[in-house]
Amino acid sequence: MRERLLGRCEFPPAGAAVDCAVSGGADSLALLVLAAEAGCQVTAWHVDHGLRAGSAAEAGVVADAARRYGAAFRAVAVHVAPGPNLEDRARRARFAALPTGVCTGHTADDQAETLLIALLRGAGVDGLAAMAPAGHPLLGLRRAETRALCDEEGLAPVEDPSNDDRSFVRNRVRHELLPLASDIARRDLVPVLARTAALLRGDAELLAAADPTDATDAKALAAAPPAVARRAVRAWLAGHAAYPPSAAAVDRVLGVARGDALACEVAGVGRIERHRQRLRVRPATVRPIEGDGRAAPGVRPGEVPNKVASMSFSVDQSLGEVVVAEDALRARIGELGAEITRDYRGKAPLLVGVLKGAFLFMADLARAIDLPVEFDFMAVSSYGSSTKTSGVVRIVKDLDIDLAGRDVIIVEDIVDSGLTLSYLRRNLMARHPGSVEVCALLVKTGLQREPQDLRYVGFEIPPEFVVGYGLDVAERYRNLPFLCVYRPQ
């Protein structure tokens, strides 16, 4: 079976050094066996995430197999803190610990799943092209074949129980969507989808080669065919963020290039501005905006409130460094209000405030908007009084106003895992509004489970628990005029 399968794999020539990521599952054990069969000089890399009991023992399975097939063995341990977006953070930590160019045991089944997941996320041709052949020598094999190979070799693969956890999108695609779609199509869709991905990869490469447009040149962007302009903007934004940008964000940037708007916000990137026909990025990470000298006698970013003698607020030992100072809030909210005023000219947007955290932000933002705005409030509960997301969102108070045809702006205090917002957006969209956009004062970097399309963002802040300016812990600290880190004593 080894030779038969090897004929459908893409390994470097015999004698070449090949690093293989081997978890001990059937796919990666097959990768190890076949890389050795191809005559490569194999190093098997095992990564222990420390997330499951017994995960360190799995390294032993890989070490034994490496010895048996004449491969070198290397074990690395990475630390991944529990919390939101675990799967993605574990994947990033894993690749950071592995050598560049490392091969993985992904099969045609994984490729079909990757394409479907990209489709669910609304990806363009690059995302739908799924995994490149480089680094994925087994894309021509089926998952069942890697298992059969392990059986024949007498290898006992490690079973990862998280492969059955239906809270991961990939597992639902694997166990529910793909079987259903195959049933509807009356054929096994894995080879069909894997082939589609390969064809789209060819298209994507062709487009990339034909696309010399400089995304910072506003004139060139405005003149380019839309497909080319969109690609150039997407590639440019992707270079500034952890996530690829949403289609809506790309369109907003093109609007700036055309001169329809002076600037726009892109979540995860910052503010895109046009200046002398060039587009440039102003990062949205916490940036101290210098005050006007008349600012409150408050605290500066990085200072700890209870150590500042001039503090007019009584603060306690649980408050850590200031993340956003009072004058920075005022300046940034003024900018957001001006942007909304410009973007919604001639309209009467409905501001939907998310209680309770957004109440101060909503009040200040509304006063910076020069339009006939209307107000409504919703209360959702996702946290209780702890500082960790429960993942459960519940409507505690619903809206009074009918949303049909309205231009809704959701005003949120903070986006952490993004669960609250994803839920709210879905819920409000079902009420047939004319449009729904989001204005979030704060976004914690790197914690969102799925990319969020946030039209307006005040500040991106590090993933720490913060209080003040509407945000609380067990109802306290909402009245602090600044935002600071909370560290219970």
- Helix, strand or coil, per DSSP, at residue 306: helix
In the region spanning residues 338 to 357, those forming contacts with Mg ion, defined by CB under 5 A, are 357
Query: Of residues 109, 416, 453, 472, which has the active-site annotation?
Result: 416
Our CB check for ligand IMP shows the closer of 198 and 319 to be: 319
Would you state the structure tokens that stand for residue 429, as one six-digit string? Answer: 């969209």
Q: In the chain, count of helices (H) and strands (E)?
A: 16, 15
Which of Mg ion, ligand IMP, none does residue 118 bind (CB under 5 to 8 Å by kind)?
none
Q: Which long-range contacts (CB under 8 A, 24 or more apart) does 143-148 make?
A: 143/26, 143/27, 143/107, 143/108, 143/109, 143/110, 145/5, 145/30, 145/107, 146/26, 146/27, 146/29, 146/30, 146/31, 146/105, 146/107, 147/26, 148/1
The reply to whether 470 sits near Mg ion by the rule CB under 5 A is no
- Would residue 398 show up in a list of annotated catalytic residues for this protein? no
- Give the type of residue at 52: R
Pick from 420, 425, 436, 439 the residue near ligand IMP by CB under 6 A: 420
Our CB check for Mg ion shows the closer of 268 and 357 to be: 357
Our CB check for ligand IMP shows the closer of 261 and 421 to be: 421
Which of ligand IMP, Mg ion, none does residue 318 bind (CB under 5 to 8 Å by kind)?
none
List the x/- string, 395-434, binding to Mg ion by CB under 5 A.
------------------x---------------------
Q: Which residues contact 201 (CB under 8 A, 6 or more apart)?
A: 129, 130, 132
- Give the type of residue at 451: P
- How many CB atoms are located within 10 Å of the residue 484 CB? 29
In the region spanning residues 80 to 109, those forming contacts with Mg ion, defined by CB under 5 A, are none
The reply to whether 419 sits near ligand IMP by the rule CB under 6 A is yes
Which of ligand IMP, Mg ion, none does residue 59 bind (CB under 5 to 8 Å by kind)?
none
| CA 25/CA 31 separation, integer angstroms | 10
Our CB check for ligand IMP shows the closer of 272 and 471 to be: 471
Which of ligand IMP, Mg ion, none does residue 465 bind (CB under 5 to 8 Å by kind)?
ligand IMP
Give me the least distance between CB of 458 and ligand IMP, in Å please: 13
Kindly tell me the sign of the dihedral angle through the C-alpha atoms of 277, 205, 98, 462.
Answer: positive
Give me the least distance between CB of 480 and ligand IMP, in Å please: 12
Which of Mg ion, ligand IMP, none does residue 270 bind (CB under 5 to 8 Å by kind)?
none
Give me the least distance between CB of 400 and ligand IMP, in Å please: 20
Which of ligand IMP, Mg ion, none does residue 383 bind (CB under 5 to 8 Å by kind)?
ligand IMP
Q: State the DSSP code for 476.
A: B
Give me the least distance between CB of 442 and ligand IMP, in Å please: 8
Our CB check for Mg ion shows the closer of 342 and 478 to be: 478
Give me the least distance between CB of 354 and Mg ion, in Å please: 5
Q: Of the candidates 196, 21, 165, 195, which has an alpha carbon nearest to the alpha carbon of residue 86?
A: 165
Give me the least distance between CB of 380 and Mg ion, in Å please: 7
Residue nearest to Mg ion (CB): 357
Q: Which long-range contacts (CB under 8 A, 24 or more apart) does 63-70 make?
A: 65/22, 65/24, 65/29, 65/32, 65/33, 65/155, 66/22, 66/32, 66/42, 69/32, 69/33, 69/36, 69/42, 70/36, 70/42
- How many CB atoms are located within 10 Å of the residue 254 CB? 23
In the region spanning residues 385 to 404, those forming contacts with ligand IMP, defined by CB under 6 A, are 389
Would you state the structure tokens that stand for residue 432, as one six-digit string? Answer: 């047939």
The reply to whether 452 sits near ligand IMP by the rule CB under 6 A is no
Would you state the structure tokens that stand for residue 303, as one six-digit string? Answer: 């200072």
Our CB check for Mg ion shows the closer of 126 and 472 to be: 472
Residue pair 223/277 in contact by the 8 Å Cβ criterion: no
Which of ligand IMP, Mg ion, none does residue 224 bind (CB under 5 to 8 Å by kind)?
none
Q: State the DSSP code for 471.
A: B
Residue pair 233/215 in contact by the 8 Å Cβ criterion: yes
Pick from 413, 437, 453, 460 the residue near ligand IMP by CB under 6 A: 413
Q: Which residues contact 245 (CB under 8 A, 6 or more apart)?
A: 233, 234, 237, 238, 266, 268, 269, 451
The reply to whether 357 sits near ligand IMP by the rule CB under 6 A is yes
The reply to whether 468 sits near Mg ion by the rule CB under 5 A is no
The reply to whether 415 sits near ligand IMP by the rule CB under 6 A is yes
| CA 57/CA 62 separation, integer angstroms | 9
The reply to whether 383 sits near ligand IMP by the rule CB under 6 A is yes
- Residues with catalytic roles: 416
- Which residues of this chain interact with ligand IMP, rule CB under 6 A? 357, 382-383, 389, 412-421, 465-467, 471
- Which residues of this chain interact with Mg ion, rule CB under 5 A? 357, 413
